[in-house]
Amino acid sequence: MENVFPIFLIVTICIATILGVVEGLNSNTEFKACSHRLDTINNQIEKMKISMKSENETISLKLDFITGKLENHSLIQIALNNKMPELKILISNITTRQENIEHGLNNTIEIQKKLDSNEKLLTDRSAPKFSQNDANSRRIAFFVHSNTGFNKTGSIIPYQIVELNYGNALNITSGTFNVPVKGIYHFYFTALKMKKELSGTSSLTVQLKQIGNPDKVIAESHINSNDWYGWFPVHLQATVHLELNSTVGVQLLLGTIFESSEKNHLLTSFGGFLVNPDN
């Protein structure tokens, strides 16, 4: 009991001393200012903690978003890597098809060239070729008939029957003669005018023409008769110098040409021959 009292006394003295110190500090202006500053700092620290917590949460959300994006990017990259072999195969197939198409086009072009070449060869072979010094160039002559009437005014008269066509220079379908060798030629034409009772006109005019741009009249024959029932022949002939590839034909200018129905009594005839080739 004796030992307890001194300890209690010491504790009491210490408490009194501490209270005195605290009271002294509370009455000290500088201590109060420091204490106030300390409270202010503590408040600022608390606010900073709150702000940092909010920023940490924001950063965490952003990190989660970025992580998700990166994961999606990784998945896309993996998908692309998986698709890459298919894309390479597709590109290879497209390239092969393109090469096949180009090869086919090249073949088509070559075939077209061959066709054009063959067509040119056929054309060249079908057209008579003569040189000015060729002995065969002197064997140019034709004589043809028509076995039907003709009334297409302004048109070249065609023919159906060939008696002679040395040099194959006369086209009976068109009725035109294409000059294979330049030189002097002689042409002749005969026909019969249809009577006015049937044709309605008393006139008949035919022209030997060099066809070009413009046409050139080489010779003309005309007949005019008021005889209602009469039949009248028309004739023309001409000797002319012609250049290579000139075209000549007989054109009906006016009237109607009559033709007999008897095969051995043909009335419309057209003929010509090379008189002298140029040297």
Same structural domain, 119 and 155: no
CA gap 208, 185 in Å, rounded: 13
Residues 222 and 198 in one domain: yes
pLDDT of residue 58: 84
Domain stops at, among 88, 105, 126: 126
Give residue 23's pLDDT. 67
pLDDT value of position 230: 58
110 and 143 both lie in a single domain: no
State mean pLDDT over 79-83: 80
Which pLDDT band holds residue 127 (cuts at 50, 70, 90)?
Answer: very low
Residues 9 and 119 in one domain: yes
DSSP 65: H
Which of 94, 126, 158 marks a domain boundary?
A: 126
Distance in angstroms (rounded) separating the CA atoms of residues 185 and 270: 13
* Buried residues in 125-163 as b, exposed as e (16+ CB within 10 A): eeeeebeeeeeebbebbbbbbbeebbeeeeebbbbeeee
Q: Please indicate, yes or no, whether residues 235 and 155 belong to a single structural domain of this protein.
A: yes
The answer to whether the beta carbons of residues 240 and 272 sit under 8 Å apart is no
181 versus 65: the higher-pLDDT residue is: 181
Q: In terms of domains, do 103 and 203 share one?
A: no
Domain interval for residue 188? 135-277
SS in 3 state form for 139-155? CCEEEEEECCCECCCCE
Q: Give this prediction's pTM.
A: 0.51
Q: Which of 191, 159, 179 is nearest to 273 (CA)?
A: 179
CA 199 centroid distance within chain: 53
Secondary structure class of 224 (helix, strand, coil): strand
Note whether 180 and 122 are same-domain residues.
Answer: no
CATH number at residue 192: 2.60.120.40
DSSP single-letter state for residue 200: S
Instruction: Please say which residue of 107, 126, 145 terminates a domain.
Output: 126
- Number of domains forming the structure of the chain: 2
